[in-house]
Amino acid sequence: MKKGQLHSWSSERGFGIIWVTRVERFFLHITNAPIEIAEPKVGDWFEFDVAPPFKKNGLPLAVNVRFSEAPKSEDSAPELVSKEQSHDGR
- Please provide residue 32's backbone torsions phi and psi, each rounded to the nearest 5 degrees: -105, 0
Which 3 state secondary structure label does DSSP give 83?
helix
Per run of 10 residues, the mean pLDDT along the chain (length 90 residues) is 96 96 95 86 96 93 94 64 45
Looking at residue 36, the DSSP 8-state letter turns out to be T
Would you state the pLDDT for residue 75?
53
Give the domain ranges of the chain. Answer: 2-85
pTM for this predicted structure:
0.78
Pick the closest to residue 40 from 76, 68, 81, 78 (CA basis): 68
Thinking of the domain 2-85, which architecture would CATH place it in?
Beta Barrel (2.40)
Are 18 and 25 spatial neighbours (Cβ–Cβ below 8 Å)? yes
Q: Which residues pair with 65 in a beta bridge?
A: none
